[in-house]
Amino acid sequence: MKVLVPVKRVIDPNVRPRVKADGSGVDLANIKMAMNPFCEIAVEEAVRMKEKSIVTEIVLVSIGPAQAQETIRIGLAMGGDRGILVQTDMAVEPLAVAKILKAIVDSEKPDLVITGKQAIDDDSNQTGQMLAALLDWPQGTFASGVTKEGDKLNVTREVDGGLQTVSLSLPAVITTDLRLNEPRFASLPNIMKAKKKLIDVKTPADYGVDVTPRLQVVKVAEPKKREAGEKVADVDALIAKLKSVGAI
Ordered by where they begin, the domains of the chain are 2-244 (3.40.50.620)
pLDDT tens per residue, range 98-140: 999 999 999 999 999 999 999 999 899 999 999 999 999 999 9
Cβ count near 36 (within 10 Å)? 23
Can you give the pLDDT at residue 105?
98
59 neighbors 5 (Cβ within 8 angstroms) = yes
Q: What is the pLDDT along the chain (248 residues), one digit of tens a residue?
A: 999 999 999 999 998 888 888 888 888 888 899 999 999 999 999 999 999 999 999 999 999 999 999 999 999 999 999 999 999 998 899 999 999 999 999 999 999 999 999 999 989 999 999 999 999 999 999 999 999 998 899 999 988 888 999 999 999 999 999 999 999 998 899 999 999 999 999 999 999 999 999 888 888 888 888 888 888 889 988 988 888 877 77
Can you give the pLDDT at residue 32?
92
Q: 168 phi and psi, to 5 degrees? A: -110, 135
Q: 61 phi and psi, to 5 degrees? A: -130, 135
Q: 37-51 and 68-78 helices cross at what angle (nearest 10)?
A: 30
Residues 245 and 248: their CA atoms lie apart, in Å, by 8
Give this prediction's pTM. 0.86
Can you give the pLDDT at residue 211?
93
SS3 of 86, please? strand
Residue of 40, 67, 52, 68 whose CA lies nearest to 1: 52
pLDDT tens per residue, range 19-38: 888 888 888 888 899 999 99
Can you give the pLDDT at residue 25?
85
